[in-house]
Amino acid sequence: MPKTVLTIDDSKAIRDMVAFTLEPQGFNVIGAANGAEGLEALRARRPDMVITDLNMPVMNGLDFIAKARSDPAGMGIPIVMLTTESAPDMKQRGKAAGATGWMDKPFDADRLVAVTRKLMG
Amino acid sequence: MEQAVAAFVQEARDLLGGLEDQILELEGGSTPAQIDEVFRTLHTVKGSGAMFGYTDLARFTHCFENAFELVRAGTLAVGPDLIELSLAARDLMVEFLDIGGDGPSSAALLASDRAVGLMGKIDQITGAGATTAASGGAAPTAAKTAIGGPDRRFEIFFRPDIGALRNGMRPELLTRELTSLGMARVTFDVSTVPPLSRLDPGAAHLGWHVSLTSDCGRAAIDDVFIFADEAELTIDEQDIEMAESADTADGAAVETASVSGDSPRKQGGGGAQGNGRASESIRVASSRMDAMMDSLGELVIAQARLDAVSESIGDTTLATVVEEVQRLVTGLRDATLSIRLLPIETVFSKFKRVVRDLAKELGKDVQLLAEGGETEVDKTVIDRIGDPLAHLVRNAIDHGLETSEVRVAAGKSPRGTVRMSARQEGSEVLISVEDNGRGLDREAIRARAIEKGLVDPTADLSENDLYNLIFQPGFSTAVTISSVSGRGVGMDAVRSMIDALGGGVDVVSRPGLGSRITLRLPVTMAIIEGLRVRLGESIYVIPLSTVEECVEISAADMQNGSGRMVLQIRDQMVPYLALDEIFGQPNAGEDIRRIVIVRINGNQIGLVVDDIIGQGQTVIKSLSSYHRDIPGLGGATILGDGRVALILDVATLVRLAKMRGGASLNKAA
Amino acid sequence: MTSQTHPAGDAPHAAYDGYDNLLIFRLEGEAFAVSVKGVHEILDPQSPTIVPNAPRHSPGLINVRGVVVPVFDIRHRLGMGAGTKQATSRMIVFEHEIDGEAGRLAFSADSVEEVHEADLAGLEPIPELGAIWPQACLEGAIRRNGELVVLLNTDVLFSPQGDGDATQTKGA
């Protein structure tokens, strides 16, 4: 039973990159373009892990994380936020909202796989 | 992945197309939402660009993203300069996209006056000092760095934030990650687990102690806990080598002992987290540890005496208590001895430099591999194993490994390998030095041994016997005498050092493939299991680890041996030594005697004694210089009745027996 | 049980500037002395464990409160015949550095008399008696109650090499 990873990003390129990197590693990857879509996908598809951008239209990543953590579908699963070194306080705010970890952008395929394995085993 | 890149390029074009309009809209006054949009566009172009092979674009975009970040934060106003520059920058970004990713053209564009000028101007507006801040390329992946660095001990205590499990942390994955970095011992701290009635199954209550020995750097450990920033975390690091040298400089003889204790229980369950850390290292002066070992030794001896007394009284209640005390003493002994154990890496790590320098001196290309550095051995071994290992490593590089030209001609890789490894096997630690060089030259060894009169020219020597000749005093087959080895003083020194530590040496060699010399040493030096035997009125102790079996022999059988000191054990001929004769003690003339069959270095011999008394823990006391050099004696101990007994040095006795038995008896080996 | 180690080889002549406490004991009726600073304790005689192939001057080992201590045959070193155990016999446990290692040894005396404070400035060379004992083992003599007491040079006396029989002799 492959584990499902939800990638939430307004950039299709990032979503594709996540998918193309993790699918060969045996993960099932689903995408959403913003926090609101992400929340829907979380409830409908029950992913095992979420990778979410923070800066997104409609519903940003912080709001998504906070809402996901108060939802049964999002409790206890690893949620990784995509951060940049230009906004260090976002890490704290994301962690406070309930993020499990973060990945600084830009990241490469190795880093993505490493973080995914780190948080899912 | 190409699809993802294509998706990025398409997306970036769309974004940059939109960006032009967004910037122009700013001219008439801006809302936070508009600023946000511009920032997000630049942010995406930069972030994704770096990931999809457009790092020059990312670098260029960075300073503009930076500017709009400041605008968003309200520290920079949108002025005509910024709009002008941003528009020009946007056009250049499109050019980067047109070039099609990183390469010479892209680099040239980034270095062009136009690009540099734009970046310089925007930095003037933002006040950023340099244009170099953007990190190009990908973030470095988890650093499992510095393989072969010196082993360090990390005493790690980790208690996740109480809500961490809800937020997706899985502590077991962290401990697994630590375990993958080296040798780890994981224990739990349950002191903050509330009673069942108040237990919240979704909360994190446990603490983890991890005692890790690893050659990875501190950074790799930190990396494991990178996401656990709100957890209670302490990482105590000990560079054993450094710690020692620092102390030596102070003139104080201190050794590093790592003691990881169970966590002290806290009163009242919940408790403050501050004093939750229970696993820490203490440094203890050697003299204190010696004092502790002395007391322990006396305790073990008193225990043996108590045993004897209890047995003679024959009271079952007393016997039960004595048994309990015995169990506790054994536990105390093991715990105390474990404090004396240090990872052998402290010795291995010193050889990197030795190998490097020696390889250079001899003009050879050599790599050193070290394995099993986490294997723990007694401090005495650590202190004394350095010289023997140095001899073996020098020999391996000087005699074992060929020059690159010779190796290549023989179809081997030009670079030779010396592999040092250690592992524990039962109560022994095996330390090997292995090379993939030319192997020992059996014929040269034989010729040399005959020349030196060490063996009979007609002797039919087993491979093992042949190799063991290299440990004979004065033996050297080196054709040229180099400054590093070949003086023939090395290998016999190795042998006597190992003998003194109560160990043995094994040699394996294959022509053209290499040699491996394995030192077998007892894990603990201070207390061993011993077999007590009687010889006349005297009691001797034979290290139990060398004993294979005990057989009875009648005096008549010994007489009938036609003068040859050989015994048939099943289908094997085993040479034996009459200890009374070796030790110049009068034979009591007992009818039935016993032979203790011992094996060391693959050689089996029998030791004739009058009786087997029993076995038990033996505290080794070293002999003074009055008696240290007497062959066959390895130390002394104090028996349960307070008498002193001598401990046999089996390795020396075996050699004595072989010498007496002559080469014709080597079948037994 | 704590032992004070006295580096016996530490500039012995410095002591001669003044008074020193000496332990006086007897062998073959003669009075001998060693500095009391080196004396760890005095024990009733014990039968030692014989060390096979041991040098003649150090034939065995005894257990002194959990420490294995070599027995030193001071009579042999001084050229006396084997003694017999007497009711007054004692073993003197002496702190001594052997080949640079601090350690203890034990030797027998026919009797132990007293601790005597002596002015080492009054140390005399050994007169004609010197013919009997190896000169190197002797520091000199002091007078006590009109009797000559021979002060032993413990560094030489207890040396593992010393008397030429340090090479192992067959049998114990």
Domain termination site, one of B522, B550, B572: B522
Under 8 Å CB-to-CB from B633, ≥6 apart: which residues? B623, B627, B646, B647, B648, B649, C51, C52
Q: Alpha-carbon dihedral of residues B633, B635, B638, B640, nearest 10 degrees?
A: -60
> β-strands B232-239, B152-159: how paired?
antiparallel
Residue scoring higher pLDDT (B242 or B425): B425
Under 8 Å CB-to-CB from A7, ≥6 apart: which residues? A14, A15, A18, A19, A29, A30, A31, A32, A50, A51, A52
| Contact (Cβ atoms closer than 8 angstroms) between residue B532 and residue B539 | yes
| Contact (Cβ atoms closer than 8 angstroms) between residue B96 and residue B106 | yes
Largest CA distance in chain B: 121
**Residue among A110, A100, A57, A94 nearest A80 (CA):** A100
In a domain, residue B139? The reply is no
CATH of the domain at B575: 2.40.50.180
- B88 and B66 part of one domain: yes
CB contact under 8 A, B167 and A102: no
- B584 and B470 part of one domain: no
In a domain, residue B136? The reply is no
CB contact under 8 A, B165 and A107: no
In a domain, residue C165? The reply is no
What is the percent of chain C with per-residue pLDDT over 90, rounded to a whole number?
Answer: 31
- Class in CATH terms, A4-120: alpha beta
CA distances for B15 relative to A23, B66, B442, angstroms: 27, 17, 76
**A38 min Cα distance to partner chain B (Å):** 17
pLDDT value at B525 more than 70: no
CATH of the domain at C46: 2.40.50.180
Mean pLDDT computed over C61-82:
88
In a domain, residue B389? The reply is yes
CB contact under 8 A, A118 and B177: yes
- B225 and B189 part of one domain: yes
**Quick check: B636 contacting C, CB < 8 Å?**
yes
CB contact under 8 A, A105 and B51: yes
pLDDT bin (cut points 50, 70, 90) of residue B476 is: low
3-class secondary structure, C103:
strand
φ and ψ at residue A58, rounded to 5 degrees: 65, -70
- Counted domains in chain C: 1
pLDDT value at B143 more than 60: no
- B531 and B632 part of one domain: yes
In a domain, residue B137? The reply is no
In the block, tokens 């207390």 appear at: B527
pLDDT value at B137 more than 60: no
pLDDT in tens, B532-549: 999 888 899 998 888 988
| Contact (Cβ atoms closer than 8 angstroms) between residue B530 and residue B647 | yes
pLDDT for residue B253: 35
pLDDT value at A71 more than 90: no
On chain B, the residues whose CB falls within 8 A of the CB of A70 are none
- B593 and B454 part of one domain: no
- B334 and B369 part of one domain: no
Range of the domain at B626: 527-668
- B357 and B501 part of one domain: yes
CB contact under 8 A, A99 and B226: no
On chain B, the residues whose CB falls within 8 A of the CB of A13 are 4-5, 7-8, 11-12, 48, 52
On chain B, the residues whose CB falls within 8 A of the CB of C61 are 627, 636, 644, 646
Neighbours of B21 (CB within 10 A): 8
- B43 and B88 part of one domain: yes
Range of the domain at C57: 12-157
What is the percent of chain B with per-residue pLDDT over 70, rounded to a whole number?
Answer: 83
Mean pLDDT computed over A89-96:
82
Mean pLDDT computed over B629-643:
85
pLDDT for residue B665: 39
- B408 and B502 part of one domain: yes
Mean pLDDT computed over C127-155:
82
Residue B342: both structure tokens together = 């240090």
A–B contact: 3+ Cβ pairs < 8 A? yes
pLDDT value at B561 more than 70: no
pLDDT for residue B221: 81
In a domain, residue B133? The reply is no
pLDDT value at A61 more than 60: yes
**Residue among B73, B68, B61 nearest B23 (CA):** B68
- B354 and B303 part of one domain: no
pLDDT in tens, C30-71: 899 999 988 988 999 889 999 999 999 999 999 987 788 999
pTM to 2 decimal places: 0.45
For residue B646, count CB atoms less than 10 angstroms from its CB and return exposed for 0-12, middle for 13-18, buried for 19 or more: buried
Mean pLDDT computed over B581-602:
79
Name the least confident of B272-276, B285-289, B307-311, B487-491: B272-276
- Counted domains in chain B: 5
pLDDT in tens, B327-380: 888 888 878 877 878 888 888 888 888 888 888 888 889 989 888 888 888 887
CATH of the domain at B122: 1.20.120.160
pLDDT for residue A50: 94
In the block, tokens 């030596």 appear at: B248
Q: What is the ipTM of this complex?
A: 0.82
Residue scoring higher pLDDT (C59 or A87): C59
- B6 and B103 part of one domain: yes
Measure the CA–CA gap between C59 and B627, rounded to whole angstroms.
Answer: 9
pLDDT in tens, B12-70: 888 888 888 888 888 777 788 888 888 888 888 887 887 788 888 988 888 888 888 88
pLDDT in tens, B153-201: 788 888 888 778 888 888 878 888 887 777 777 777 777 777 777 777 7
